[in-house]
Amino acid sequence: MKHTVSEILLQNGAKGLLVHIPHASVMTFDINFRAGEYLVDQEKWEVPHLMEHVLLGANELHPRARDFQADLEKNGAYSNASTGVYDITYEAECADFEWDRVLGLLLIAISKPSFLEEEFQAEFGNVQEEMAARSNNHFRRLSLEMRKGLGLIAKTDAERLEIMGNVTVDDVREHYKRTHHAPNMRFVVAGNLTDTRKKIIEKLFEDIALPHVGPRFDLPSECPSTISAPIYVPNDTVENLYFYIDTFMNYRMSDSQTDALNLVNTMLTETLYSKILGTARERGLVYGMSSGLSQTRDASNWWFGAQVSEKNAAALLDITVSELRKVLKGEIDKTEIAATKQYALGRFQRSAQTVGGTAAGYSNRYFFDEVIENYYQIPSRIKAVTKDQIVEVARGMFTENLWGFGVLGNCGEKFAAELQAQLEPLWAEISLNVK
């Protein structure tokens, strides 16, 4: 969607982006605080999550959570919140005709929560149910075990359930006071933002009843370390095995490096004709395979994962190793790069067909490191990626020998170790060549 972006810096210390999409019929609000689990005692891990659940409840204007939700949603509006290791984000979407009413209600909820004991107890039970449901997600379970093994900040859902009882409503109130102040707030508002509306939005955020003093907390330092043996999570109820491969470089990638690695990542797994997934599907080895990029404050990560039968696992990893070797050796055809660029350009065009999709193109990066993506330059960035850039950044992901392999299933530790042994040459060969 065609749009323009402006950043506003408020006197109370808050910052935000206003994404003007002419003639949009809806408006979205994303309000972020650096208030995640890394800021609390490890034995009180669930404090931010419980706070997020209770905050969008009873407040100065609404005696019960149900009253607040009924008021906010009466014309079809939507609200939600999410908690992660780093942040809590509150969000809402509404019809254009009631944007100011909904934004006002959201800001009241954030600035004047009641944190009632009875609502805390109710949400305590709801969070327990949520954690129990999440524990049935095998990819999530393995991912969290991998993060822990690699030395990143994480707890499994089972661990979180065990220590939830340490949290009281007073802990929630204390964490709120510590983290919910204006200088720690970032926001992205998207919709038909006329000049008059921009002024109203700026005043609403400027006047929010939050303290004007406090830090925007720094992201934590997370330096991954190599896992010498595979992470093995036994589960006798699983017929197939789940696996993840993680490899790292100990610095943040530049935008051009990210563009290059995203492109080769697409080439390897993201289509049914891709080099790894496409080949594996042709041989009847696996239904699906995923891969992707992530970054912490200090490191960059490239990961691969799939669910595969034990009898096909070795063959799938053979294909993975073979295709990665080709990339690392520079054995990539120019026509493959050109075709992948065309796919990436089309996917980019599809990614922002809605107001929410357009806002998401800015919010993730802005909330992480306050960088404002230049949306309209992304096609040029994709087109500018070269073969040399692809090979260089891919090799960089294997040069430092920082990696791990994990398996969830009932295949046994010995078989998991055999699978890891198939992968080891990728890092060994690159390290040897660099030396």
| 162-186 tens-digit pLDDT | 999 999 999 999 999 999 999 999 9
The pLDDT of 273-287, averaged and rounded, is: 96
CA–CA separation, 404 and 383 (whole Å): 32
- The per-residue pLDDT for 349 is 85
Burial of 252 (C-beta count, 10 Å sphere; 0-12/13-18/19+): middle
Q: How many helices (H) and strands (E) does the chain have?
A: 16, 11
Which residues make beta-bridge pairs with 90? Answer: 31, 81
Strands (E), 84-214: 88-95, 185-191
**Taking 50 as the threshold, does the pLDDT of residue 225 lie above it?**
yes
Helical segments of 192-274, H only: 195-206, 255-269
Tell me the backbone φ, ψ of residue 11, rounded to 5 degrees: -65, -25
- The per-residue pLDDT for 435 is 43
The pLDDT of 7-18, averaged and rounded, is: 98
Over pLDDT 70: what percentage of the chain?
Answer: 99
Amino acid occupying residue 201? I
- Confidence tier at 345 by pLDDT (50, 70, 90): very high
**Taking 70 as the threshold, does the pLDDT of residue 433 lie above it?**
no
Same fold, 4-206 and 231-434: yes
Burial of 382 (C-beta count, 10 Å sphere; 0-12/13-18/19+): buried
Q: Tell which residue, 48, 297, 32, 55, has the closest CA to residue 184.
A: 32
Average pLDDT over the chain reads 95
Tokens of 183: 């200088």
Q: CATH class for domain 231-434?
A: alpha beta
CA–CA separation, 177 and 316 (whole Å): 50
Over pLDDT 90: what percentage of the chain?
Answer: 94
Bin 321: left if φ > 0, else alpha if -120 < ψ < 50, else beta: alpha
Q: Contact at 8 Å (CB) between 63 and 181?
A: no
The pLDDT of 245-266, averaged and rounded, is: 96
Tokens of 418: 């055999």
Tokens of 345: 């350009």
The pLDDT of 290-303, averaged and rounded, is: 96
CA–CA separation, 33 and 18 (whole Å): 17
What b/e string do you get for 282-301 counting C-beta neighbours within 10 Å, with b at 16 or more? eeebbeebebeeebbeebbb
**Taking 90 as the threshold, does the pLDDT of residue 6 lie above it?**
yes
- The per-residue pLDDT for 202 is 98
The pLDDT of 231-255, averaged and rounded, is: 96
Task: Kindly give the pairing relationship between strand 15-20 and strand 4-9.
Answer: antiparallel
What is the crossing angle of helices 47-55 and 117-134, to 10°?
A: 120
Predicted TM-score (pTM) of this structure: 0.94
User: For the chain, what are the domain ranges?
Assistant: 4-206, 231-434
| Region 4-206: CATH code | 3.30.830.10
Tokens of 226: 């190599």
- The per-residue pLDDT for 184 is 98
- The per-residue pLDDT for 432 is 57
- Confidence tier at 29 by pLDDT (50, 70, 90): very high
CA–CA separation, 375 and 87 (whole Å): 24
